[in-house]
Structure 1
Amino acid sequence: MELIQQLVNGLSLGSIYALIALGYTMVYGIVKLINFAHGDVFMVGAFVGFYSITILELPFLPALLISMIVCAIFGVLIERIAYKPLRNATRIAALITAIGVSLLIEYGMIYIRGAQPEAYPNDVMPTSKIDILGVSISSQSLLIFFVAIVLMIILQFVVHKTKIGKAMRAVSFDADAARLMGINVNNTISATFAIGSALAGAAGVIFGIYYIKIEPLMGIIPGLKAFVAAVLGGIGIIPGAMVGGLLLGVIEALVSAAGFSLWRDGVAFVVLILILIFRPQGLFGKNKREKV
């Protein structure tokens, strides 16, 4: 029974990783860039949600939507200012810029509001225990998991059934061919950043409600773990990011349940090393031949 409880906790945590990992994987799939500032967009989302709840006194869902909208705009600004001028630059230049943007966001937030942590109010989402097959499970965990799954389903619908989703898939497959077919590649890339950043913002609010404490450097570890989740599932593959995030959350929960909670953060990087050694293309990836 304790195992089922840990699995639910792991799925709740994994759904947060999955939401962040989707941003990594979408951006990589289209512009072949690892956006290391993505974890900091997640942090900004957590703070926007916090101020929406405490200062504007909004309930959970409106705070979640505001956070997603603000982070979507923020993601587009990052792309237009920092990444667009480097579209044709070397990979290493774009990577270094991403790390620089990440540090700028973190320490910009510390400069604006200070480094002290904040705590989400306890009454944002009423917590009760639900008994399922004799196991007492927090309603908060189930609601977080449900919200994350709904957002992932909406994303799948957008990618596969809408005009912008088709444009994103076309640009991902061949940007030059998509441009010749009349697709506005710049707008499509901006839309990709907007959607990925909105999901990271939602993850920030969910994280704040689940873990209470938020602070300006909170995006570093979840951001790295979400990157591991994206690699685990197959970077550039949307279902892979979802499965990778959920799987990583469950692995962490089981490691904690086994009494190795000090190893909890380290296990993600053990998983990364193992996946790079034994299946570098990820669980859902395919081997690609590259001409040298």
Structure 2
Amino acid sequence: MDQFVQQLLNGLFLGAIYALIALGYTMVYGVLRFINFAHGDVFMLGAFGGLYVHKALAPLLNALPWPLALAVVMLASMAICAALGIAIEYFAYRPLRTRPRLNVLITAIGVSLFIEYTGQLVFGATQQPFPALIPRQNISGLGGLTVTMTQVIVVVVTTALLIGLRYIVMRTRLGLAMRALSLNPTAAALMGVNTSVVISFTFGLGSALAAAGGILYASLYPSVDPFMGIQPGIKAFVAAVLGGIGNIPGAALGGMIIGVVETLVTGYSQKLGIPSGYKEGVAFIILILILLFKPSGLLGKVEREKV
């Protein structure tokens, strides 16, 4: 039982990061109805942003308590990636807004490859150690369970960001405009909604969440490289589809499920007779099953399109 609970907790900690990345996918899809495949690479840029912000401000950050230093690094990285997300939308996607969706999809793949290989050129091809923004110590008093301070902070920060996102979407004017644009772009524009501003805000907000996920992921697995966003990005996309693409609570739920299932398969691979390397295929098996039996996702709604 202790082993099962331990694997369950590890899956929840990993799933919290998948949820943050999945939120970016689902927000962009909810507004524009296309998948931004460059989103996983923004996650990578968030981790590198945190690394270089820490290097630049090391004397100042070392003098601060670690929670405040973590907040400074994370907020700076989120701001950088929000600006990058807005720039990507402005230069790559906005000119194609009236074009067929296939054009935008191909462009998204091209932007993803451009970021990855530019990152390899700028940051180098080898892995770099990530600084210990959170004390790497175990929480005592949990019996046979092993929970680190980093894992606890991951869950706390993810929960706070999810609550903040929920507030923005449901309680602010920009959130109302996002929901209106998602339901009917034409009607929203006729009612005075500045669609370009709302779309840019959506990209910026989603990119900021991806940056936070990059910082937390690099804190759990303390190394960064230019291709670190590929696998988490794909799994977060599957999480968004699993929960119901375009549904914010669904993206969070899907991320948790993917993280738990992946961790359980890894932990019980020997008992199940499955090679541990097959954990990377779990997300794709779930994607196939959800597309076969419930294409709208767990919390998604079936939408009928008039032809």
Normalised by the size of structure 1, how large is the TM-score?
A: 0.97
Separation of aligned partners in 1, 2:123 and 2:153: 30
Task: Give, in angstroms, the shift of residue 149 of structure 1.
Answer: 1.0
Asked if residue 154 in structure 1 is aligned to residue 155 in structure 2, the reply is no
Aligned residues of 1:8 and 1:141 also touching (Cα < 8 A): no
The one-letter amino acid of 1:61's match is A
Separation of aligned partners in 1, 2:15 and 2:239: 9
Deviates more, 1:252-261 or 1:207-216: 252-261
The residue that corresponds to 1:7 in the other structure is 8
Task: Give, in angstroms, the shift of residue 119 of structure 1.
Answer: 0.9
The one-letter amino acid of 1:11's match is L
Asked if residue 244 in structure 1 is aligned to residue 254 in structure 2, the reply is yes
Asked if residue 212 in structure 1 is aligned to residue 227 in structure 2, the reply is no
The correspondence for 2:105, drawn from 84, 95, 107, is: 95
- SS of 1:77's partner is helix
Q: CA RMSD in A?
A: 1.1
The residue that corresponds to 2:236 in the other structure is 226
The correspondence for 1:82, drawn from 76, 92, 96, is: 92
The one-letter amino acid of 2:133's match is V
The correspondence for 2:77, drawn from 43, 47, 67, is: 67
Task: Give ranges in structure 1 of 5+ residues lacking alignment.
Answer: none
Separation of aligned partners in 1, 2:229 and 2:249: 23
Task: Give ranges in structure 2 of 5+ residues lacking alignment.
Answer: 62-68
Asked if residue 126 in structure 1 is aligned to residue 127 in structure 2, the reply is no
Deviation digits for residues 240-279 of structure 1 (CA, Å, limit 9, x no counterpart): 0000001100111111110242111110100000100011
Deviation digits for residues 99-147 of structure 1 (CA, Å, limit 9, x no counterpart): 00001111111122221211112x3211222233653322211111111
The residue that corresponds to 1:108 in the other structure is 118
Give aligned pairs, total: 291
The residue that corresponds to 2:268 in the other structure is 258
The residue that corresponds to 1:46 in the other structure is 47
Separation of aligned partners in 1, 2:122 and 2:239: 31
Separation of aligned partners in 2, 1:210 and 1:52: 18
The correspondence for 1:189, drawn from 199, 204, 209, is: 199
The residue that corresponds to 1:287 in the other structure is 302
Aligned residues of 1:8 and 1:142 also touching (Cα < 8 A): no
The one-letter amino acid of 2:96's match is L
Separation of aligned partners in 1, 2:143 and 2:198: 47
Aligned residues of 1:53 and 1:60 also touching (Cα < 8 A): no
The residue that corresponds to 1:17 in the other structure is 18
Aligned residues of 1:29 and 1:235 also touching (Cα < 8 A): yes
- SS of 1:245's partner is helix
The one-letter amino acid of 2:282's match is V
The one-letter amino acid of 1:203's match is G
Deviates more, 1:131-140 or 1:90-99: 131-140
The one-letter amino acid of 2:23's match is L
Deviation digits for residues 14-61 of structure 1 (CA, Å, limit 9, x no counterpart): 011100000000000000110000000000000001112233213211
- SS of 1:126's partner is coil
Task: Give, in angstroms, the shift of residue 84 of structure 1.
Answer: 0.3
Task: Give, in angstroms, the shift of residue 213 of structure 1.
Answer: 1.4
Separation of aligned partners in 2, 1:129 and 1:219: 27
Normalised by the size of structure 2, how large is the TM-score?
A: 0.92
Separation of aligned partners in 2, 1:198 and 1:64: 9
Separation of aligned partners in 1, 2:46 and 2:238: 21
Separation of aligned partners in 2, 1:148 and 1:54: 24
Runs of 4+ in structure 1 off by over 4 angstroms are none
The one-letter amino acid of 2:32's match is V
Separation of aligned partners in 1, 2:199 and 2:41: 19
Separation of aligned partners in 2, 1:167 and 1:291: 24
The correspondence for 2:285, drawn from 262, 270, 275, is: 270
Task: Give, in angstroms, the shift of residue 222 of structure 1.
Answer: 0.7
Aligned residues of 1:119 and 1:214 also touching (Cα < 8 A): yes
Separation of aligned partners in 2, 1:246 and 1:101: 28
Alpha carbons of structure 1 residues 291 and 109: separation in structure 2 relative to 1, 3 Å? same
- SS of 1:136's partner is coil
